[in-house]
Amino acid sequence: MNRIRSGRYAGLIAVTLGLVLAAVAAPPARAEEKLVAPVFPGAARLSGTKLGVDEGVTFFVKEPHETVQAFYVPKYARLPKENEGRMRGAGEIPLIVQGAGEVARIITSMKGDYTWARATEVIVEWKPAMFAGTGIAGSFFNELRNQAKKHPGHDAELAALKAKYEWLGLAFLHPEKKGEELLKRCSAESNGVNPNVDQAALVTQYAKLAQEGKYEEMAKLQEQLVGPDPKAEERKRKADNFGLWKGCLEQAAGYGYLTRITIDRDPHEWNTKQK
């Protein structure tokens, strides 16, 4: 009897462990921040940006990086010359607003003898096509494909969703925590697990009770995880949850931004005393 119970609870632990996985628009540049270039229209500011000596301010943009670059070049910035600007990866480019020489003159005029300077930039970042389907966005589409496979009749709708939201696979999520919380909640609901409890803490506690053989306490804890009906979890897992995951995908799209930009502060605002 204990083996049967253990097997049953072990299965529940496995399902629940699978659920423990792993931005709302913010205001543009704040009044006290002087940036070297204007903020792209409609950009969402990364809340809580900590500014150091000369760091810029980060924003997220719905439009693709080509549109963002065209906004800044040539009106506010220029393309970098060879070996100019900070090192960059495949999915980013530093647009030069002021050359290192001009920045040096600005800082020298404030500080006097000063030898360090760099160009001011608007760094434009995007996710290259090689990353398509990865991350949280890929998880939403995987669940939709699983639902369509288990419950025939959704192929046309799945294709339409893919055409409409495929861009999300190459998007930044902002705030990223909201996207993670959404995926966790949708996974819980799809598996019949109560999404309003601390799953990680309960799973840890559940595993501890299983090791100690405290099955009555495990049963009580199970109600917190899946509710008083022990068969509700199984019914929910077997149900057609395509509509649930469709709604989750549409909500995730609200957190998606195709481009991330970082705009340097005006060199007059740099804290050169730290250098």
Neighbours of 133 (CB within 10 A): 14
Q: Does the structure show a pLDDT above 80 at 179?
A: yes
171: in domain: yes
Both 147 and 115 in one domain: the answer is no
Both 7 and 65 in one domain: the answer is no
269 pLDDT band (50/70/90 cuts)? confident
Both 145 and 14 in one domain: the answer is yes
| CA separation for the pair 195, 187 (Å, rounded) | 8
214: in domain: yes
Q: Which residue has the higher pLDDT, 133 or 181?
A: 181
Contact 99, 72 (CB under 8 A): no
84: in domain: yes
| CA separation for the pair 235, 191 (Å, rounded) | 9
Mean pLDDT for the chain?
78
Domain that holds residue 70: 44-130+258-267
Both 173 and 216 in one domain: the answer is yes
Q: Which residue has the higher pLDDT, 256 or 195?
A: 256
- Domains held by the chain: number: 2
Both 114 and 213 in one domain: the answer is no
Per-residue pLDDT of 93-109, as tens digits, reads 999 999 988 998 888 88
Long-range contacts of 139-143 (CB under 8 A, 24+ apart): 139/21, 139/183, 140/168, 140/183, 140/186, 140/245, 140/248, 140/249, 140/252, 141/169, 141/249, 143/186, 143/187, 143/190, 143/241, 143/245, 143/248
36: in domain: no
Q: Does the structure show a pLDDT above 50 at 27?
A: no
37: in domain: no
17: in domain: yes
Q: Does the structure show a pLDDT above 80 at 67?
A: yes
Both 137 and 116 in one domain: the answer is no
Both 68 and 50 in one domain: the answer is yes
pLDDT at residue 126 in the model: 95
Both 262 and 250 in one domain: the answer is no
48: in domain: yes
| CA separation for the pair 232, 226 (Å, rounded) | 7
Both 238 and 201 in one domain: the answer is yes
Both 59 and 191 in one domain: the answer is no
Both 237 and 125 in one domain: the answer is no
Across the range 19-23, mean pLDDT stands at 31
Element housing 45 (H / E) = strand 44-45
Q: Which residue has the higher pLDDT, 24 or 176?
A: 176
Per-residue pLDDT of 107-166, as tens digits, reads 888 776 656 778 999 999 999 988 876 778 888 999 999 999 999 999 999 999 999 998
For 51-95, the DSSP string reads: P-SS--EEEEESS-HHHHHHHHTTTT-BPPPTT-SS---TTEEEE
Q: Lowest-confidence range among 25-29, 30-34, 54-58, 66-70?
A: 25-29
pLDDT at residue 22 in the model: 30
Q: Lowest-confidence range among 87-91, 167-171, 235-239?
A: 235-239
29: in domain: no
Both 217 and 85 in one domain: the answer is no
Q: Lowest-confidence range among 66-70, 134-138, 176-180, 191-195?
A: 191-195
